[in-house]
Amino acid sequence: MKLSGRFVFVFQWIAPVVLIGWVLFGRGLLGAPLGWLAAIGLFLSPVALLALYIPPVLVLFDREARMSARTRQGYEIASYTLWGVLVVMGIVIVDGGDAGPVGSLLTMWTGMDAGAGEVFLVPVMLLAVVALAAQLVMAVVGIVAARKTAPVAAR
């Protein structure tokens, strides 16, 4: 995992755009029809982008991480968890259309009802919120740790 800190340090700036695009339009690329989520998501995506970019901006206040261009292990774990959950969300998110709910990729692949597919969406969304909060907390923990270990002359 020697390069993973550097990978997270770079990918944290690319991931929000790529993963929001995946959640909104990835289903269309893999064969599921796009519904209102794609249209409404374009208006809500700036809010989601802002929320996803807060932890990377906070990491810049971690002097040790910024100087080594690597992130701390706790932040890496929270980031990988969030990114994985957003990939899963793109697979299980159920969309709405004019003629009722449009199935997710999971319902298209397995043949289950769109209503049954919604059962998977709620825990995944909750896990995404928890993972984002964990990423935010780990970014703040890194800032605090950098301040504690900083030499007195550098303060």
Cβ-defined contacts of 114-123 (< 8 Å, 24+): 117/92, 118/94, 120/92, 121/89, 121/92, 121/93, 121/94
CA angle 105, 111, 112 (to 5 degrees): 90
Token couple for 88? 């899963």
| Per-residue CA distances from 81 to 40, 43, 71, 114, 135 (Å) | 26, 25, 15, 26, 9
pLDDT of the residue at 107:
82
**pTM for the complete prediction?**
0.85
CA angle 45, 50, 56 (to 5 degrees): 130
pLDDT of the residue at 87:
94
| Per-residue CA distances from 38 to 11, 67, 72, 73 (Å) | 24, 39, 35, 34
pLDDT tens for the chain, residues 1 to 155: 455 778 888 899 999 999 999 988 888 888 777 878 888 888 999 999 999 999 999 988 888 877 877 888 889 999 999 999 999 998 888 877 666 677 788 888 888 877 777 788 889 999 999 999 999 999 999 888 888 765 655 55
